[in-house]
Each structure stands twice: as C-alpha cells, then as structure tokens.
Structure 1
C-alpha cells in the first residue's frame, strides 16, 4: 500500500504509469514467487512481552471505508536520535536539477531537458527565459503531484521511454501521464547508503523494497550483491521493473517481483517468520491494492511500520521511510519511528531529502529544493 500527497482521494495510489490511473494501495505488491523459509530459532530476536491487542475503528466519512489502527505502546527505551538531517542530491551525469522557480523545475534526464510543475519552487527563476525555452518536453495539465496531464514536445515528438543510468543501474526514463519520469532521483541519497551497506557486508543481505515502483532501488541493491524482494500493487509498474532488470543485465539476479498489496504482504511475512536486513518503504498518501484494498497514509502507516519492525533481522542494517507531498513535519515520522523501534537500540535519523540546483554545466551549486520527508532507523 512508495506517501505521496500526490494523489487525489478518488485516484489510485502509487506512482502511476504512462496513461494509467494510479493504483491505490500503491506500491503494495504481489504474489510471492516462492515462500520465504522461516529462520532458525536461534537467529530470531528475543521475544518481547506480549502486547495488548490492536484496536481498530472504521471511518466512512470519505465515502470509502478506511480502518484506523491503534497500536499498543511497545516496551523498552526509544532509540537515540539525530535531527534534523538533510540528505542532499547534487545530481550526476544522467540527472541534474538545472534551475527552479515560479512553480516549476528545469531538469536534465540523460539527453532530455524537461520542465515539470514544482509547487515548492516559490522563488524566481535564476536562469534567463531563453534557457527555459530550449527544452525537449514540458508537462502541462493538473499541477497536483499525481494530477493527470500531458507532455508537450516543443522540438520534436519523442517516444515514451529513453535509457538512463544511476548508481550503475540501467533503466528506462518514461513520460507518464502523471508527470513522473520513471525514477525519483532524490532517493539517490538512500540508495547510495544502501549500496554501501550491502557492499561492506560479509554476507548477502536481504532487502525488501515496498512500494518499489519501477525497481531502480531494487536493481541497485541486486547489483551490489543483495537478495531482493520488490513489492508493488501496480502490474504495469512491475512490468516496467522487469524491463529495467533486463536492461541492467541482471536477469539472473536474485530478485522476487511481487505484485500485491504491501500491507498484506508484510503481514504474511510476519506470519511466515521472514527476516530482512534492509527495508525500504516509500508509501503514497493514498492508494489501492491489487484487490481494491484502501491505503491512507495517516491511518495505516503506524501498522505498516510496526509490521516492518517485526520482519527486521536481528542484525538488520536499517529501516527507511520516505514520504512527500503530505501536510506533516518530518518530526511526525521521526517520533513514530522512535516509538516503533523501542527496545531495538540504534539511532533514528530524520529530516528532508533535497536536490541541489547544479546549473547548465552541472557544476554551479544553487538553491536546494526540498522533495521528501524521511526517517531512517539504523543499528548504530
């Protein structure tokens, strides 16, 4: 069920695809390719004291039933904290934020220069108008994060996809009907951290990517040597992820592509006794699962994090939560994460993901554009 205020209540969830309606419950996912083997008893964490039952209430004010879940307080001390943390992406050879302002952003994705709406670009543009006019694609239409619109191609008609590469993973950029381009580059900060954790481990780490969208994070993890489980509720997104896997020449990499509701998947993994070393979860604000399951971030995120904690391995390397376009402070997620991880020690670091303007040459630092809130638990 990738928290993004980017969708309207009646729209499906996740990061929608080209001409497709977003699938709510987004980035939940799929039918497990194979059931996970339960871990040996000695590898499981010490069982915590039995907790009171979870309480739930129904809220039908939205015209749709949304279940509010109330979790009992976990025992144990809360983890230490580091706040605020600003994780910055400066861009790369295949991506950079050139300029922003007046509610828009000018970006470079591989060979293409594009313009997209950006509500947080409140300042004036730095570069002259003639620079902004020399672009390959402009998204027009609804300026809501997941509003439906269309692409205009001022120079020449372009195909739906084009090749890109980030952190060594090859994938396809896409002109989708919801202004997205097949990748969320602000996540590079988390992916670089994950890649480093996998590469320095003396064993293959197990990575769970919830609301995995087009699979770029999953490919980065697999290329670094991890065993990956990728979950998303959108069949189209899973199809794109498989295309990206072939493009990255990772056909034989240990990746499970699962098209299923994310909440249902993690709850089943809890029952199976599955364990993961790194969990990435990037939920939308609103979404729908494969069977019409409704996801509302503010109602369901506490239970989602709680279940993720249950499937963290005893020597886990991290649990990462990102969210954007929501009316909340990063402190909301920070305090939720600290309460969720009571008794596990470690540190919770929270703040914002930002992308730094890099200018036309890619080497002229400018303003920082905030893109997402995040909270990350690490063991130390």
Structure 2
C-alpha cells in the first residue's frame, strides 16, 4: 500500500511522479519486481486484530515527546501562516499550502513573493494542482540534498516534492542505532515512497527492504539511490501491497531489526486493495511486531492527517510491544520555523526502541 491520498493526497504524488529521463526510468522500472510467494496469499487485513499478550510486561514509556527539525543548509521552514508555508530547499524558495498554519505570517509580503516555485492548487487537466515558477521555469526534477545524501526532488501535482523534512528526526535516530549495533541490521521500510529513509539506513550499513505499491515511486527511489552514489548498497525494492507483504514475511519466517511504518489514512494497493487506517492498523502493527528479530532495535510508526491523539497510537504500540522491554516514545513531529520560531506540527508518531 503506497498511495496516500491523506495529507492532501500525499501518496497520490507517487502515481503522478514522472521522471526527467523516460528511457532511464523504463530501464529502472524493469528491475522492479513484485513480491513472490510460493503459497496462496491471504489478506492480512482480514485477520482478527489479536495483539494482546496477557501477563507480558509493557515497555517503559515517554509521552509526550516532541521531535523537532530546525533550519539547516539543506532545508529551512522560513515562515508560515494564513494557510501556507514558505520553505527553502537548497537554492530554491518554495511556497505551498499548509492547513496547520492558522496563524499570521511573520515575514513581509515581499519575502513571500520572492520565490522560485508556488503551488496554486488549481484544479485542471494537469491534476490536483499546478506549480508556477515566477522567476524562471524549473524542470520537473531538481537536485536536493539531505545530510550529505543527494537525491532528486520533483514537483508533483499533489504539492509534494519527494521528501518530508520532519522525518529527519527518525532518520537520524535510526542511523545512530544501526551504527551502534555493531552487527548486521536488516531494515524494512514500508510505504517507502521515494526512499530517503532507505538510503539513510543503507548508508549506515544496513541491509534494506523497501516496499511500496507504486512502481513509479520505486523507480524514482532507485534513481535516487544512484544519484546518492549508493548503488552498491544492498537495497531490495519490492512493488507490493505493504500489508500483504508483511503477512507473507511472517509465514516465511523473515525477521527485521528495524521496521519503519508510515501508512496512509486511506489508500489503495496495486491490485485495488483498500486500506483504512483505523480498521487495518491494529493488525498491521501486530504483524510487524511478529516479524521483529530476536534482538530488535526499533519499530517506528508515523501517521498523518488523522483525527486522533498520539495517545491512541501510543496505546496500540505499547500493547503490541508487550514483552519486548525497551521503551515506547510517542508524540509529534514538528518543524521549527526560522522567521518567528513557531513550531509547525506535521504528524503523530509512536516508536518502540531498545533501551
């Protein structure tokens, strides 16, 4: 499951993500293979949500925990307000909608007009919206960087650009834990989108399995792997419904030290499978718990655009991880604004980590 219409069609950006080099995209796409299973696959979401472990001690807990991303040379939230945000990605200034920014702007109007790209939200034949380039026309793809990792941004018709900067907090923590493990680490990145988390994990020395239902998104991610000069790192690219893949991995006896879970509020898999977060998340978390290795490192869940408190997913995660020891940390991911220092909340998260 990769399509993520929630958060203003976040994952739907995958379906509209076209590359700048068609012949190269076709060659990369040819390397992407669906998951294979020798048995008859069953739909994991049809199974009962049985995750309780009576008598098993619950992990320690930290709530609330606010994980914050501040401005740096790669990315900065310059200002926000009146339903929009003004961002700096490397050399480019980008302006796009942001429903959480209900306050007023801090910077003068001239700063908001001195931009390279703006998402207008026009509904026309080009998709859900349109990018305009006030200064000079920009290509569909453009070079970006995160913490020394080069990758390609893309102006999609659903206002996204191929990276969610708030996730940097999770990526940094994961990379530190992988390096500190001093042993082989297998990472499963579910709903992997354009692959920044997979690249960070691979750079740290992990063996990565990247799962996404959109072949176009995986093609983009594979291209990012080459742009990042990490083509020699072990990343397995799987085009498959994430819920089915996890259930099959359980039957196969496969295990992972780190699992990243970033599901949509609503979405569809490659064969029309329907995902509803509140209905299917409990069994998904339970199945992820079942394929954690004997000495797991982390299970990280992030959710966007849901009408719930982080306490809801905190309780789910803590129950699922009963008997594992460690700690469940839950709260919000925020980006600290440069202009006025306000915190823009982007998502809820809950993660189990080894103490």
CA distance in 2, matches of 1:68, 1:14: 25
Deviations along 1:4-50, whole A, 9 cap, x unmatched?
A: 67268xx7x835237369xxxxxxx9624899xxxxxxxxxxxxxxx
1:188 matched residue in structure 2: 168
Structure 1 residue 370 and structure 2 residue 345: aligned? yes
1:31 matched residue in structure 2: 34
Deviations along 1:50-82, whole A, 9 cap, x unmatched?
A: xxxxxx9xxxxxxxxx96843252221221110
1:267 matched residue in structure 2: 247
CA distance in 1, matches of 2:122, 2:341: 27
What SS is found at the alignment partner of 1:115? strand
Is the contact between residue 87 and residue 354 of structure 1 (CA under 8 Å) also seen in structure 2? Answer: yes
CA distance in 2, matches of 1:215, 1:80: 31
What SS is found at the alignment partner of 2:119? strand
Change (3 A) 1:34 1:161: farther
Is the contact between residue 282 and residue 322 of structure 1 (CA under 8 Å) also seen in structure 2? Answer: yes
The count of corresponding residues between Structure 1 and Structure 2 is: 333
Is the contact between residue 7 and residue 286 of structure 1 (CA under 8 Å) also seen in structure 2? Answer: no
Is the contact between residue 214 and residue 240 of structure 1 (CA under 8 Å) also seen in structure 2? Answer: yes
What SS is found at the alignment partner of 2:137? coil
Structure 1 residue 333 and structure 2 residue 330: aligned? no
1:110 matched residue in structure 2: 90
2:28 matched residue in structure 1: none
1:91 matched residue in structure 2: 71
Give the 5 Å matches for 1:48-197. Answer: 69-71=48-50, 73-75=52-54, 76-141=56-121, 148-197=128-177
TM-score (normalised: structure 2): 0.88
Is the contact between residue 210 and residue 262 of structure 1 (CA under 8 Å) also seen in structure 2? Answer: yes
1:53 matched residue in structure 2: none
TM-score (normalised: structure 1): 0.83
Q: CA deviation at 1:2?
A: 6.4
CA distance in 1, matches of 2:211, 2:317: 21
Is the contact between residue 47 and residue 283 of structure 2 (CA under 8 Å) also seen in structure 1? Answer: no
What SS is found at the alignment partner of 2:107? coil
What SS is found at the alignment partner of 1:280? strand
Aligned with residue 226 of structure 2, among 240, 243, 246: 246
2:26 matched residue in structure 1: none
2:21 matched residue in structure 1: none
Deviations along 1:136-183, whole A, 9 cap, x unmatched?
A: 11111169xxx9211111112110111111122211011001100000
CA distance in 2, matches of 1:330, 1:3: 23
Structure 2 residue runs of 5 or longer lacking an equivalent are: 19-31, 39-43
Structure 1 residue 213 and structure 2 residue 185: aligned? no
What SS is found at the alignment partner of 2:134? coil
Change (3 A) 1:69 1:127: farther
Change (3 A) 1:345 1:305: same
Is the contact between residue 18 and residue 174 of structure 1 (CA under 8 Å) also seen in structure 2? Answer: no
CA distance in 2, matches of 1:33, 1:247: 28
Is the contact between residue 5 and residue 267 of structure 2 (CA under 8 Å) also seen in structure 1? Answer: no
What SS is found at the alignment partner of 1:106? strand
Deviations along 1:197-221, whole A, 9 cap, x unmatched?
A: 1111211211000000000110011
What SS is found at the alignment partner of 1:70? coil
2:23 matched residue in structure 1: none
Aligned with residue 323 of structure 2, among 343, 355, 368: 343
What SS is found at the alignment partner of 2:172? helix
CA distance in 1, matches of 2:48, 2:264: 18
2:275 matched residue in structure 1: 295
Mean alpha-carbon deviation: is it higher for 202-211 or for 347-356? 202-211
CA distance in 2, matches of 1:154, 1:353: 31
CA distance in 1, matches of 2:122, 2:184: 44
Is the contact between residue 114 and residue 137 of structure 1 (CA under 8 Å) also seen in structure 2? Answer: yes
Structure 1 residue 316 and structure 2 residue 296: aligned? yes
Q: CA deviation at 1:345?
A: 1.6
CA distance in 2, matches of 1:264, 1:342: 24
2:16 matched residue in structure 1: 19
Deviations along 1:273-311, whole A, 9 cap, x unmatched?
A: 111011001011111111111111111100110000001
Change (3 A) 1:142 1:88: farther
Is the contact between residue 305 and residue 340 of structure 1 (CA under 8 Å) also seen in structure 2? Answer: yes
CA distance in 1, matches of 2:154, 2:256: 30
CA distance in 2, matches of 1:113, 1:72: 46
1:25 matched residue in structure 2: none
